[in-house]
Amino acid sequence: MSKLNLRPNGFRPKRENWVPSIQTIQLSDNLLCFYDGRTRAGEPIFAETDENWPQVDMDLGTCCYVLYRGDEAVVFDTMIMPEQAQYVRNRMESLGVKKFTVIISHMDLDHNGGNAVFADCEIISQKGTHDVLAKHKELIESGGWWGNDNEFWGPPAINPFVLPNTLIEQDTKRTLAGFELELLHTKAHQFGGNLCVYIPEYKAMIVGDIAEDSCIYVGEADDILISIDETKRLLDFDIDYVFPMHGDPNKIAKGAYDKRFIEAAIVYQQRLHSRMHEPGYFDSELDDYLGEYIREGVLTPFEPYYGIHKVNTRYVYKHWVTKRKK
């Protein structure tokens, strides 16, 4: 993922010198957000260069959510590294939690890198997510390169890497930590799909990476039309709050995002696909695609996502134009 080169400046020591600096955001009496990155621009994190995936994700900012009641908790994604997941588990245990259930949104390692901390727990994912991770488990544990043309995921190694152990292949209802949850199976965003969770009691949707602030990363560009249709399905739910794994911590703390946040992700993908033959496609800026959502405060412009947009245009053009000419 070094091609992004989102934030090349600043010395970054090796991981053994790194300690997570996590913000804990109290969203309700029973819902916490654990947030790391984004607001620490230029602060040392993982390596001397940006040629590693954790650095990119820390620059974007990443988080997990924990829904809890009594001595039970549901952890939504386990963040980038075991150190972060251990922080989350320690904090929840200090609040009296004894039983954890983990729900993994999708295969990207910044959402499941801390799974080993919850190896003694039920870890739920879509079957497609499990299958992608199982296929590359040895490379994940050795820090080898894999992903899109073996250029996406690489060092540092996550060893041991623990796979999900409960797999779903359709929308599924579960009662966990005293909450009725709807686990929504989608084929959006990434290989293996993206699992979203609706919490009816809060009218809240935890969306993984199906929507981000400032824009989504189009991981599976050849299936962008499927991703659009699958994301549209979320709009059928009665939603007051949308919680992404990559968002503005200040906005999350003030009540998160509303339904238009999901709409913006749909519109962005539609425009990426419909404009790929227009002159200047590769020179376009994020504001050209999401300007009205930025102006109206639905999205918060954040510098690294301007680089993500450039990557998205390359991926979409490669899959929909270059490959079809061959």
pLDDT band at 152 (very low <50, low <70, confident <90, very high): confident
pLDDT for 17 beyond 70: no
Query: For 79, left (φ over 0), alpha (ψ -120 to 50), or beta?
Result: left
Q: Which of 167, 60, 50, 150 is nearest to 104 (CA)?
A: 167
Domain boundaries of the chain, sorted by first residue: 2-325
Range of lowest pLDDT (143-152, 204-213, 231-240, 309-318) = 143-152
pLDDT for 97 beyond 60: yes
May I ask the CATH class of domain 2-325? alpha beta
Q: Among the residues of 82-126, which ranges form H helices? A: 82-94
pLDDT band at 4 (very low <50, low <70, confident <90, very high): very low
Share of the chain above pLDDT 90, in %: 75
Question: What does the DSSP 8-state code read for residue 25?
Answer: E
Which tens digit of pLDDT belongs to each residue from 261-285?
999 999 999 999 999 999 999 999 9
Q: Which pLDDT does position 31 carry in this prediction? A: 98
Mean pLDDT computed over every residue of the chain: 89
pLDDT for 50 beyond 50: no
**Mean pLDDT, residues 142-170:** 87
252 in Cβ contact with 37 (< 8 Å): no
Q: Cβ contacts of residue 124 below 8 Å, gap of 6+?
A: 101, 102, 103, 104, 164, 166, 167, 168, 174, 183, 195
